[in-house]
Chain A
């Protein structure tokens, strides 16, 4: 293996793919056009604020555990938990993405025709994966490291240990993610085991995230963020945490790098050793694995050939095309499944953690409130609309977007098909979730009538506006599918717009009720907003789509 070539491959990937620049591409477009400068700054501030809130929540959570650890005689409990969470989060996250970095990325085909050692390609792809995913680990561990200073104090050793942990920590989960991803690929002879890789990962990742949030809300008191009943926590959580520490001794050892040089060195050796072994495993037979991936792509093409002739309407055909587009990359399926299953995962997590039982008590208290059913309605609206399903659906077409320009299709046709699919994917589950929620909370089912009606308009409005955002500046020249979804600012903009839309609907629906007006007036006003909003947003979306097709 030639280190110079490995560096060349990494540099070429960065120069040729520019993976981090897609995030900022939209901002630079806005600046170039000299428009919406205020909006750009506002957006950046909102994003920065949201990021700080998330990190702050994690920091408080870890601070509580760090303090609890001090009481339990385990001084780095918060850091231990952050290492554990960071590990699993990155491991599960990398399971879905690394196979595209290692084998399926468009540029790998180019590299495979060049006289390169398999080990050189693998090493460079591991470095690229570290660069792409390593930050996720830091997002989780940094809050724990910062909050730990307030409990344990600061020292030079602590600083060095922290930096070391941030650099070396991602190696193990990433390496294991790569190992299992490669192993699965070999066992499946190059086929993507979507059900196993994507659905499993999505469920795990979201479950994990919600578990963290549930844990956070359980600990925080009503009056202050640090108003915590440590005595109660000791009683309920100490045995569980002691079990965790015993079962995941490695992370306890990892957290001890903050104060022990020996641990630091041993941790370094262990991480590098595992990474090296995984590197050897992937390198051996890399050529064969790539050949399997290429073969499986072709066998999928053969499978499509067997399909019979079917006549569909233009709209149905375009909807089917949209589904094929989603199925073309695991990242897209991952996003879709995850976003649609959030309520179920949330219920599962709450049931496991016992929060559901506590919620029942709270629900009994608030169920008698006249606003309770509105709460259910808007909670479900948030679940259904805080998604990237629509807001990146043009970007995910990538270079194939040019087909839309070539085919005799109007902007209206394309928008109608995208929104129709969105309705099928989002509205139907939304109605199911609403029905189940009404039944569970013993709210009269007749309320489903107005809820179904308003929900339809909210979903249409949010989806059309999000789609308009993506049509105005689609990210089409991506190499990794992640660039079209997770690294696409249009998705975040879409989320923000959906949030604002739902708040507007909430104000119009609840405002009159709070003012003492009858419910049917509130409903009529909201219906009016829904009709007007959805009509206007679809118009905007078609206009933006027309613009994109003419460019």
Chain B
């Protein structure tokens, strides 16, 4: 479903590469967790994946399609939840969802059904007529998830989606991601929360200083490190040479 081939991205000639020669293949129907410390290159990778940033070299394909020109074909396949919710603050949530529906050309009945189902699931139905500017961070995050799922994308990309969500909403999101992947779609998300990654992910990738250190299942990581009993947090700290406290 997703192919990164030798992707490199740097922000200036002097600084080290934000992402260095990233090669990664992710099958469809999986939840892929992208882990790494702060500044490891997770958000840069995600921004390249959704077409906001161009890589300096290498290629990204999604469902066999390359980003060409404005990448419209590829973008129509994916739903994106950014690390900071992107909205028109003066719009109501309804108006925003309609805007997304119009852009993706979602028919009225399907749109209505999706908005009803998703807003009920994420308990946002009563706030749909309010201005987004009045929403809390958690509510904006929920709206971003609903917007991303509105057109039933083949690939759902989420950048730190659990930040700001209450426990119930976080649980619902994890459940939604699972359901979504089980339907044959792909979920690619970055997180700092190891428990979430361990609970939900079919596969994980660990990146540090722009370099992919590991790609596989948690089990494979345990086997590779010869520490079958250690949890993901300990393995992660070991791999990224973090302190164990």
Contacts and interface: CB of A to CB of B under 8 A. Distances in A.
Contact of A298 (B18, B54, B99, B104): B18
A116 interface: yes
Nearest to A297: B11
Interface in A269-299: 286-288, 290-291, 294-296, 298-299
B75 A16 contact: no
B104 A18 contact: no
A288 B11 contact: no
B227 interface: no
Nearest to B13: A299
A8 B51 contact: no
Contacts of A303: 12
Given A17-B88, A299-B15, A477-B133, A113 B80 contact: yes
Given A5-B103, A112-B52, A290-B52, A15 B133 contact: no
Interface stretch (B65-73, B175-183, B185-193): B65-73
Contacts, number: 95
Contacts of A302: 11-12, 15
A477 B86 contact: no
B90 A115 contact: no
B70 A116 contact: yes
A390 interface: no
A479 B198 CA distance: 39
B76 interface: yes
Contacts of A15: 88, 90-91, 95
Interface stretch (A102-110, A130-138, A419-427, A513-521): A102-110
Interface string B41-58: 000100100111110000
A109 B80 CA distance: 12
Contacts of A288: 54
A16 B89 CA distance: 6
Contacts of B96: 16
A47 B84 CA distance: 39
B89 A477 contact: yes
B103 A18 contact: no
B88 A291 contact: no
Contacts of B102: 5, 8
Contacts of A17: 88, 90
Contact of A291 (B53, B73, B80, B90): B53
A12 interface: yes
A287 B67 CA distance: 11
Contacts of B133: 477
B89 to A, nearest CB: 6
A287 B44 CA distance: 16
A427 B26 CA distance: 62
Contact of B100 (A107, A109, A114, A118): A114
Nearest to A11: B99
Nearest to B89: A477
A460 B128 CA distance: 47
Interface residues of B, number: 35
A503 to B, nearest CB: 38
Contacts of B15: 299, 302
Interface residues of A, number: 35
Contacts of B69: 118, 287
B87 interface: yes
Given A114-B100, A116-B70, A477-B133, A16 B88 contact: yes
Given A114-B103, A294-B53, A12 B72 contact: no
Contact of A107 (B52, B71, B88, B104): B88
B103 A299 contact: no
A110 B87 contact: yes
Interface in B16-40: 18
Most central of A110, A112, A113, A288 by chain B CB within 10 Å: A113
A294 B47 CA distance: 10
Interface string B184-228: 000000000000000000000000000000000000000000000
A113 B90 contact: no
A117 interface: yes
A102 to B, nearest CB: 15
A106 B104 CA distance: 21
Nearest to A399: B89
A286 B103 contact: no
Given A288-B54, A294-B52, A109 B71 contact: no
A418 to B, nearest CB: 25
A290 B53 CA distance: 8
A483 to B, nearest CB: 11
Contact of B51 (A110, A117, A287): A287
B53 A113 contact: no
B93 to A, nearest CB: 12
Interface string A1-40: 0000100100011011110000000000000000000000
A115 B75 contact: yes
Nearest to A106: B86
Contacts of A477: 89-90, 133
A114 B54 contact: no
B76 A115 contact: yes
Contacts of B104: 114-115
A1 B172 CA distance: 38
Interface of B: 9, 11-12, 15, 18, 44, 47, 50-54, 69-73, 75-76, 80, 82, 86-91, 95-96, 99-100, 102-104, 133
10 contacts: A8-B102, A16-B88, A16-B91, A17-B88, A109-B86, A116-B103, A119-B70, A302-B11, A479-B88, A479-B89
Nearest 10 pairs between A and B by C-beta? A16-B88, A115-B76, A299-B11, A110-B86, A115-B75, A118-B70, A291-B54, A299-B12, A16-B91, A298-B11
Given A16-B91, A287-B70, A288-B54, 7 more contacts: A17-B88, A107-B88, A109-B86, A110-B87, A112-B51, A115-B72, A116-B72
